[in-house]
Structure 1
């Protein structure tokens, strides 16, 4: 399984986590998030960022031009769309950048609704459904994923922590998305805990 560490915010901590070589790192460009990187954030100013670590920009119902600007400024490899973005919206952006489309999962979620997104997305991300936008820090019933039958690989998100390892190995997602369970403060990651988690999932 691959690992995405999301909600990175502080330059020194970004480099500490990047040195662990997770597969993806996520940076939130949504002003209402506690982990918002700020309007002047520029990843290119962080020296020696490992090329093999893919940079993901997280956006929520953002203007397309804003996304394009941030993709260029930060040399992003993917954008993760965490709002109510339509298939047509995803299609327009997909000509310029790879898309990870996030969906909030609940007991009655209709996985057939994802088919119209399939041509435009490299990956899906399944998180816990909440009333607001962004991550929940809570785990949904992963057994619901037995209903998923598309061939688009997915990231599994929502309250993933050290106690999730046994269940994760039964689900076999393409990647795991972690955030708050590995923080000492919002946006500040515990590198020792992440290193331990990486060693286990890659064993």
Structure 2
């Protein structure tokens, strides 16, 4: 199972996160987010070891803006968390892997993923709220059984230290990884590294 920590914006916090055995680090380039990462420099981001891939998160941004951030920070993937078109996903995915996020509340919400199957590298399923992620709320993970698509997916939305047993119960063949954010913060954009470390250690131990 892959581990993605999202919503990073503090350089010292990123340095500490770089010491953990995670797979992806996400930075949000959406100005309305309290985790807006626009002040980060190239050096702030590229102190990560090569096995931690850098993900830029965007909400209804244009291709030029997205590619500007891809080039500025040497991003490895982009995550689209708004109502981006199939066409934009296709264009971007020809250059850089795309994670398309979908807000879900019930099984019928997986219908919207079908037209994106061939133009994205991964999906991400988050809780349906008026916000674009970071709500700290979970959806009913049992509905994941209704997802029959071919794309591997990340699970997002209010995952906390108390969810290890429930994460273990998910046996979906396309379940790729978990996306950790607000439940591991001391304030928006600042992660509690010790809490993350303990969670990862416990999760890894439980998996073994």
Gaps of 5+ in 2: none
* 1:79 matched to 2:81: no
* 1:92 matched to 2:91: yes
| Structure 1 residues 175-190: aligned runs within 5 Å | 175-190=177-192
Structure 2 partner of 1:157 = 156
Contact map agreement 1:137 1:159 (CA 8 A) in 2: yes
Structure 1 partner of 2:103 = 104
Structure 2 partner of 1:31 = 31
Q: CA deviation at 1:44?
A: 3.5
Contact map agreement 1:44 1:75 (CA 8 A) in 2: no
Structure 1 Cα separation of the partners of residues 27 and 119 of structure 2: 21
Q: 1:143 to 1:196 in 2, by over 3 A?
A: same
TM-score (norm 2): 0.92
Contact map agreement 1:3 1:176 (CA 8 A) in 2: yes
* 1:9 matched to 2:46: no
Quote the RMSD (CA, aligned, Å): 1.4
Structure 2 Cα separation of the partners of residues 110 and 13 of structure 1: 35
- Aligned residue pairs, count: 202
Structure 1 partner of 2:176 = 174
Structure 1 Cα separation of the partners of residues 6 and 138 of structure 2: 16
Structure 1 Cα separation of the partners of residues 84 and 181 of structure 2: 22
Contact map agreement 1:128 1:135 (CA 8 A) in 2: no
Q: CA deviation at 1:47?
A: 5.6
Contact map agreement 2:135 2:182 (CA 8 A) in 1: no
Structure 1 Cα separation of the partners of residues 130 and 45 of structure 2: 35
Q: 1:110 to 1:72 in 2, by over 3 A?
A: same
Gaps of 5+ in 1: none
Structure 2 Cα separation of the partners of residues 112 and 17 of structure 1: 36
Q: 1:101 to 1:46 in 2, by over 3 A?
A: closer
Structure 2 Cα separation of the partners of residues 113 and 28 of structure 1: 23
Structure 2 Cα separation of the partners of residues 202 and 186 of structure 1: 26
Q: CA deviation at 1:108?
A: 5.1
Structure 2 Cα separation of the partners of residues 57 and 157 of structure 1: 16
Structure 1 Cα separation of the partners of residues 108 and 91 of structure 2: 25
Q: CA deviation at 1:89?
A: 1.1
1:15 alignment partner, SS class:
helix
